[in-house]
Amino acid sequence: MEKSIYRRLYDLVAGYWPFLLASSISAFIYVAFNGLSVWLTATLFNNILTDFDELIKTQSLLASSKASLNDQLKFWTNKLILRDTAIESLKVLCYTLIASFLIKNIFLYIKNISLTYIQFNLIKKLRAQLYSHLQSLSLSFFDKRQTGELSSIVINDVSNMRVAFGTSFHKLFVEPINILVFISLLFIINLKLAFLSIVIVPITGAVVVVIGKSIRRRSRRTAEKIARIMGIMSENLNSIRIIKSFAMEAFETNRFKQEQERHYTLDLRQAKLRLISSPVTEMIGAFIAVILLWIGGHDVLVSNDMTSEDFIRFILILFSVLQPIRSLSKVGINLQNGFASADRVFNVLDTVPAIVSKPNAIKIKDVKDEITFNNVGFNYDGTDRILKDISFTMKKGTVTALVGASGAGKSTIADLIPRFYDVINGKIEIDGNDIRDLDINSLRKMMGIVSQETILFNDTIGSNIKYGLQSVTDDQLQKAAKNANAYDFISEQPNGFETVIGEKGVRLSGGQRQRIAIARAILKNPSILILDEATSSLDTESEFKVQKAIDNLMADRTVLVIAHRLSTVESADKIVVMEDGEIADFGSHQDLLKKDGVYTRLYKKQFKS
């Protein structure tokens, strides 16, 4: 059974218990001194406002009566600070006040920093887990998920989780104690006023919550709009060439403007609510204060039910309790956001790689005899059958060319050999072993793949050619570059092999990029070569050079080539003609031409021109 989200969060945090303990203990000390500092502030006001002789008299009265808890607390506070003269007492009070604020804040810091330490470590751990898990997932997973979405999970959702659970821990753990301590103090000071506040504060609190909810609903919608704007923007920047070539700049700008306009309307409405909420809350606060002031003041001035010291303290504590209550009311939405993010994060982590090596997989080094497709059938997740009943053999050291119209299934066949996807029916065998019984890494290590779309990293030319290989000498590197017909242009680069090629290799021409990819394959020296030889983007000169490079690469290997060049087709040992996911025919160029079938039509259409 899948572990619950709580359990997983617990597992993540459990290792950090010393920090959690430190944080919790600090939280208690913080709350205690927080209460003390408010209490003493009231004492300070009282001492300044009251005549010193009066204070001494009250103290002796308190000493004799000590009836209520409130009186006892006041007695002990006075005992702590009252000295022989007024100014001495004030001095002691100031010192005590500073000390209690200092201790409170030191522990606030310790509480927060230990929590933050845990949070940052969790972020690091989760992102590393996600990243490494993503590396292990199969291509079929990436077909279904967008790159932007996955990046957003690794960056935003992990960081949401931190914010949500970090602040919620504080709120759920510390604020209730804080509130409890303050409310107890209110009741200790004056029962009647405390009851009164307990009734009015929640009513006004409800108003604030309603406004808050409405803001949140809107902010979710604005977040969606912002994501859409980001989407349009990144799509635009990625396709800027196409946009220019179709002269669609004005259209695109307009589309962006419209989307912005919608976002603006939402944003403005949200801002209106947000900006009204603080004046409204403040007015509500003022009303509460006035009601309490009226009733409390009446008790102080008219009926003498309460001392002014008690009244000042009551008001101070009441205002101190509002903040924790407000922050506690937001904890629900925080947690909701956090759980939604955690859900997305764990969803990725729970995805099992579709293609993994079996426990006792065979490590393979070389093709000894042949690679065979036996009645292979395949479809992608959610598509109709793409390949039907494909059977053919590639003998070691020969070239097999796949030809056929676009969409016939040629690339799909090529992707099945390195197990980027697994067959659905039938099997592919290398020397009689089903490739699903082979160790995946060993299988892929003996394979070189040069595709239409050359994938280069934003690194030096040298590192790109050496990618994935250890201990390559300069000599081997240069030899590979020469064989790939790439040496000359690399030498002409400002820093030769050390030249950084820019993102996706933008600083190189299409032909140059392909030759770097070919040099990479030559250096890897694979026994199986899979080649998608696109030439459409190359000029004649480049094409000639790439062709030579490919000829060098194909020598002495078992090659499957998706052939776009007539010369490759003609010289292939076997041609497999694909039509709508099926093999329409196969044989040598001459054999197939004689039959005057699908191949002849294709040949006339594609290769003759």
Which chain residues interact with ligand ADP by CB under 6 A?
143, 380, 383, 386, 404, 406-412
Nearer to ligand ADP, 386 or 560 (CB): 386
* Contact call for residues 493 and 505 (beta carbons, < 8 A): no
Residue 290: count other Cβ atoms within 10 Å of its Cβ. 11
Nearer to ligand ADP, 412 or 485 (CB): 412
CA distance 86 to 450: 90
- For residue 184, give Cα distances in angstroms to 70, 180, 318, 324, 553: 11, 6, 11, 15, 83
Nearer to ligand ADP, 141 or 165 (CB): 141
Q: Report in angstroms how near the CB of residue 451 gets to ligand ADP at its nearest.
A: 11
β pairing state of 558-562 and 399-404: parallel
- Residue 381 token pair: 């997740």
Nearer to ligand ADP, 42 or 428 (CB): 428
Q: Report in angstroms how near the CB of residue 414 gets to ligand ADP at its nearest.
A: 8
CA distance 274 to 293: 29
Q: Which residues contact 486 (CB under 8 A, 6 or more apart)?
A: 512, 515, 516, 518, 519, 549
Q: Report in angstroms how near the CB of residue 554 gets to ligand ADP at its nearest.
A: 19
Nearer to ligand ADP, 117 or 380 (CB): 380
- Residue 376 token pair: 């292979």
β pairing state of 528-532 and 558-562: parallel
Q: Report in angstroms how near the CB of residue 401 gets to ligand ADP at its nearest.
A: 13
Q: Report in angstroms how near the CB of residue 406 gets to ligand ADP at its nearest.
A: 4
Nearer to ligand ADP, 103 or 137 (CB): 137
Nearer to ligand ADP, 139 or 227 (CB): 139
Instruction: Spell 383-409 as b/e; 16+ CB within 10 A means b.
Output: eeebbbebebebebeebbbbbbeeebb
Residues in the chain: 609
Q: Report in angstroms how near the CB of residue 450 gets to ligand ADP at its nearest.
A: 15
Nearer to ligand ADP, 465 or 577 (CB): 577
Nearer to ligand ADP, 194 or 577 (CB): 577
Nearer to ligand ADP, 126 or 530 (CB): 530
Reduced to 3 states, what is the DSSP secondary structure of residue 398? Answer: coil
- Residue 604 token pair: 């006339």
Q: Report in angstroms how near the CB of residue 409 gets to ligand ADP at its nearest.
A: 4
Q: Report in angstroms how near the CB of residue 173 gets to ligand ADP at its nearest.
A: 48
- Residue 545 token pair: 């050079």
- Residue 403 token pair: 């030809």
How many helices (H) and strands (E) in the chain? 23, 10
Nearer to ligand ADP, 353 or 407 (CB): 407
Rg from Cα positions in the chain:
38
Q: Report in angstroms how near the CB of residue 140 gets to ligand ADP at its nearest.
A: 8
Q: Report in angstroms how near the CB of residue 596 gets to ligand ADP at its nearest.
A: 23
Q: Which residues contact 136 (CB under 8 A, 6 or more apart)?
A: 353, 356
Q: Report in angstroms how near the CB of residue 326 gets to ligand ADP at its nearest.
A: 50
Q: Give how far the C-alpha of residue 498 lies from the chain's centroid of Cα atoms, to the nearest Å.
A: 33
Nearer to ligand ADP, 81 or 529 (CB): 529
Q: What share of the chain is helix, strand, coil (3-state, %, to 5)?
A: 70, 10, 20
Write the DSSP string, 476-524.
HHHHHHHHTT-HHHHHHSTTGGG-B--GGGTTS-HHHHHHHHHHHHHHH
Q: Report in angstroms how near the CB of residue 489 gets to ligand ADP at its nearest.
A: 29
Reduced to 3 states, what is the DSSP secondary structure of residue 530? Answer: strand
